[in-house]
Copies of this chain bind each other. A is one copy, B any other.
Amino acid sequence: MPFRINSIKSYFPKKKENLNSLKFKNLNKNKLLKASGINERYVSSKNENVITLSLQSAKKILNAKIKKQLGFLFFVSQTSPYKFPSVSCILQHELDLPGDIFAVDINMGCSGYIYALKLANSFMHNKKKYGLIICSDTYTKYIDKNNRSCKPIFSDASTSTLLEMSKKKFFKSFDFGVNGGGQKDLMLSNNSNNMYMNGAKLAIFTLNVIPDFIKNFIKKNKIKKNKIKFFVLHQASKYVCDNIRKKLNFEKKYFLNNYNKFGNTVSSSIPLLLQEAMNKKKIKKDDTIIACGFGVGLSWGAVEIKW
Q: Does A78 contact B (CB under 8 A)?
A: yes
Number of interface residues of A (CB under 8 A): 53
A83 to B85 Cα, complex, angstroms: 15
Q: Does A90 contact B (CB under 8 A)?
A: yes
Q: Does A118 contact B (CB under 8 A)?
A: yes
Q: How far is the CB of A190 from chain B (nearest CB, A)?
A: 6
Interface string of A265-307 (1 = CB under 8 A from B): 0000000000000000000000000000000111100000000
CB contacts (< 8 Å) of A79 on chain B: these are 83
CB contacts (< 8 Å) of A80 on chain B: these are 107, 190
Q: Does A230 contact B (CB under 8 A)?
A: no
Instruction: Find out whether the CB atom of B299 lies under 8 angstroms from the CB atom of A103.
Output: yes
> Given A84-B188, A180-B92, A189-B81, is A107 in contact with B105 using a C-beta cutoff of 8 Å?
yes
Q: How far is the CB of A50 from chain B (nearest CB, A)?
A: 11
Instruction: Find out whether the CB atom of A179 lies under 8 angstroms from the CB atom of B124.
Output: no
CB contacts (< 8 Å) of A119 on chain B: these are 104, 119, 122-123
Chain A interface, >50% SS class: mixed
> Given A102-B118, A180-B92, A183-B89, is A82 in contact with B297 using a C-beta cutoff of 8 Å?
no
Interface string of A176-189 (1 = CB under 8 A from B): 11111101001111
A241 to B119 Cα, complex, angstroms: 32
Interface string of A81-100 (1 = CB under 8 A from B): 11111101111111001011
A186 to B89 Cα, complex, angstroms: 12
Instruction: Find out whether the CB atom of A89 lies under 8 angstroms from the CB atom of B298.
Output: yes
CB contacts (< 8 Å) of A118 on chain B: these are 102
The winner among A78, A104, A118, A190 for most chain B CB atoms within 10 A is A104
Interface string of A187-228 (1 = CB under 8 A from B): 111100001000000000000000000000000000000000
Q: How far is the CB of A238 from chain B (nearest CB, A)?
A: 23
CB contacts (< 8 Å) of A107 on chain B: these are 80, 84, 86, 104-107
Instruction: Find out whether the CB atom of A92 lies under 8 angstroms from the CB atom of B190.
Output: no
Q: Does A108 contact B (CB under 8 A)?
A: yes
CB contacts (< 8 Å) of A240 on chain B: these are none
CB contacts (< 8 Å) of A175 on chain B: these are 100
Q: Does A233 contact B (CB under 8 A)?
A: no
Instruction: Find out whether the CB atom of A84 lies under 8 angstroms from the CB atom of B296.
Output: yes
CB contacts (< 8 Å) of A88 on chain B: these are 178
13 A–B contacts, CB within 8 A, in A order: A78-B83, A81-B189, A82-B188, A83-B190, A84-B195, A85-B297, A90-B180, A92-B180, A102-B118, A103-B297, A105-B107, A107-B107, A119-B119
